[in-house]
Amino acid sequence: MKPTDKTRFAELITGLAQTFHVAVGAVDLETYWRLLNWFSLDEIEQAIANYCRSSKGNRFFPKPSELVALIRGSDTDQALRAWSKVLRAIRGVGPYRTVVFDDPLIHAVIWDIVNSISKIPKSSN
C-alpha cells in the first residue's frame, strides 16, 4: 500500500473492529498498518471480506497473521503451490536445463533434497 492508502486502511480496520464489537486505537491501527502494508488495499479488503464470510464462523477480531494467511494462503497452501511449480518445471523443462523459480526458497529446498540424497549410503546389493 501507499501512504495515501492509510486513511482507507484505517476505515477498513475500524469497520472490522465494529463488526466484532472491539475498540481499536491509534496504536492498534499503526501496528496493523506496519504488519500489513506490503499488501494492496484490494487484498486487505478481500481478506477482511473472506474472514467475515468464512464458514468457520469466526467470532473474534482477526490477528494480522490471520489476514496474511487469507491473502497468501496457509503454510500448507504455499508448500503445495511451490511443489506444483517444481512438478511443472520437471515436466516442461526437463532434468537437464536450468530453471529459475520466482521463490528462492524453492531453490534452497531442492538444494537440501539433492544434498540429502547424495549422503544416503549406497546399498551393497
Rounded CA Rg of the chain: 21
**What pLDDT score was predicted for residue 52?**
93
Phi, psi of 2 (to 5 degrees): -100, 155
Sorted by sequence, the CB contacts under 8 Å of residue 99 that are 6+ apart come out as 89, 93
10-residue stretch averages of pLDDT, the chain, 125 residues long: 94 96 96 96 96 88 94 86 90 86 88 84 68
Sorted by sequence, the CB contacts under 8 Å of residue 78 that are 6+ apart come out as 72
**What pLDDT score was predicted for residue 43?**
96
Domain ranges across the chain: 3-72, 75-118
**What pLDDT score was predicted for residue 11?**
97
pTM for the whole thing? 0.66
**What pLDDT score was predicted for residue 121?**
77
**What pLDDT score was predicted for residue 125?**
60
**What pLDDT score was predicted for residue 113?**
86
